[in-house]
Amino acid sequence: MISKIRSSLNDMQAKKITMLKAKADLAYYTEIESVDDEQAAGAFVYYNPKTMQTVTIQKPTLKQALKEVAKKNKLTLQDSDLGFMITEDRSGDWVNVSNYRTSIKKTNEYGYETNETMQVYHAGTVGQTYANIMNQQRRDCLARYLDYAVTLYTQKGYDRAVVDRAVEKELYKQWADTGEYQSALAIGAESKGTIRGMIAYMGYVEGMPAAVINQLDELVGSSEEGALNGQFAQYVKQYEGINDRELSQRRALQVHQWQLKKQQLQDKRLTGTVW
């Protein structure tokens, strides 16, 4: 009888340890206490009844956690990607992530909730919110940039073909992150950021306005991403690309040159002028 009781207690103890370890693993990403201050990152502490010692799991900062999640998904998250993440209200493109903290009850070392509360960041929730805000700001910036490009040939006298090629070159550099042309495979076409950059570049090349490019951009990473290729193809048919526009321009120039040459030949016959 005693051996059975001891066996049952050992089983319960093992389950308790497993539960506390699982809670610690969860807290690592869902109960983050600091954005980038490692000294204030805090720790999750639980008591191991088997060793009769406490176990301390150091928590990451929010930025560290987001980098770890990205790495696990074979993505690279740079410090610059998180550069607009702050903890105060500030005008401009900054994102105050303190607005997305949640209040939870603290857990004691035995895994039970206490009456004390704390403000924490959930890496998944805050990270996705930050990404959504930054993507929208990027789309707004693209719209302003393309609107400005239009004014160059409608108001300031620049040739449209020259402006188009300058914008194309700039968008390509942002997409490929290099001034040198290379294959999509070398760039990393499976990256969501790369796909968004490619949409902006190829969309402009195919003559799509900013509103359409941003509409396609919003499909990336959404439940409707599967419709992206089809919608892009439809818009390609709908708009005149810069290559097509240049071709039409060259044809019009050739026609004009031929008409001019024809007129000169007619004038030569009429006047006998030697050209």
d(CA 240, CA 233) in angstroms, rounded, equals 13
d(CA 190, CA 10) in angstroms, rounded, equals 48
d(CA 66, CA 29) in angstroms, rounded, equals 9
d(CA 270, CA 53) in angstroms, rounded, equals 111
| Residues in the chain, pLDDT under 70 | 176-191, 249, 252-253, 255-256, 267, 269-275
Per-residue pLDDT at 177: 57
Per-residue pLDDT at 225: 87
Q: What angle do CA 103, 109, 115 make, to 5 degrees?
A: 40
What are the structural domain ranges in the chain? 2-121, 129-239
Per-residue pLDDT at 272: 59
d(CA 200, CA 216) in angstroms, rounded, equals 9
Per-residue pLDDT at 256: 67
Per-residue pLDDT at 250: 72
Residue 48: strand pairing partners: 53
Per-residue pLDDT at 102: 94
User: Please, are residues 253 and 245 in contact by the beta-carbon 8 Å criterion?
Assistant: no
User: Please, are residues 34 and 64 in contact by the beta-carbon 8 Å criterion?
Assistant: no
User: Please, are residues 104 and 31 in contact by the beta-carbon 8 Å criterion?
Assistant: yes
